[in-house]
């Protein structure tokens, strides 16, 4: 079993004005992030959402692909979505991933917001040296709320585009794939 799991957080996250909000779950994020998680050997993908109707939607999508007719049509999608678990809060995901005593919370962000950021190469080395489980957290909306960032053990450096590009607003699913590749991909 892998020592890394991922979490997709829908609350507490920020809106474009910096206010703490709850975002809606998207089908694309669920499918693509689960596929990335499976590709790079993550042990689980937690979707943290405080609204029961949104968690139920995640469960229904998962059920369709893992147990329903979707599994018959595209078995590989079932293998990816088997990793998906719903939680009410990030704290619940942390506990299911093994708890803070046995693990670390790592965050990713488009900007480090004044925090010391670890390079992906240093984080990769840390992962190789440690026996702790890592929960790699991705925020929706305009990023994770400050209290989530403050609770993190490691802040990964922002993923930057091509030199000279004035645009840096990747989808969370793209950022997830890039981060997992930089941490776990073949070198």
d(CA 152, CA 164): 30
Neighbours of 157 (CB within 10 A): 18
Top CATH class, 4-51+85-184:
alpha beta
Beta bridge partners of 5: 135
The one-digit pLDDT tens for each residue of the chain (187 residues) are: 478 999 999 999 999 999 999 999 999 999 999 999 999 999 999 999 999 999 999 999 999 999 999 999 998 899 999 999 999 999 999 999 999 999 999 998 766 667 789 999 999 999 999 999 999 999 999 999 999 999 999 999 988 889 998 887 889 999 999 999 999 999 8
Domain borders along the chain are 4-51+85-184
Closest CA to 44 of 122, 88, 89, 97: 97
Beta bridge partners of 129: none
């Amino acid at each position: 079993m892998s020592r890394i799991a991922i979490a997709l957080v829908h609350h507490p996250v920020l809106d474009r004005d910096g206010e703490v909000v709850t975002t809606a779950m998207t089908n694309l994020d669920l499918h693509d992030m689960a596929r990335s998680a499976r590709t790079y050997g993550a042990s689980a993908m937690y979707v943290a959402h405080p609204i029961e109707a949104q968690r139920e939607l995640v469960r229904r999508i998962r059920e369709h692909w893992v147990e329903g007719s979707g599994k018959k049509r595209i078995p590989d999608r079932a293998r990816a979505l088997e990793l998906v678990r719903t939680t009410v809060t990030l704290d619940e995901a942390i506990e299911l991933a093994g708890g803070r005593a046995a693990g670390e919370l790592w965050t990713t962000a488009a900007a480090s917001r004044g925090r010391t950021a670890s390079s992906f190469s240093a984080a990769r080395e840390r992962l190789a040296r440690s026996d702790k489980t890592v929960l790699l957290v991705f925020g929706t909306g305009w990023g994770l709320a400050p209290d989530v960032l403050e609770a993190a053990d490691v802040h990964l450096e922002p993923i930057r585009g091509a030199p000279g590009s004035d645009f840096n607003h990747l989808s969370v699913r793209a950022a997830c794939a890039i981060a997992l590749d930089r941490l776990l991909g073949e070198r």
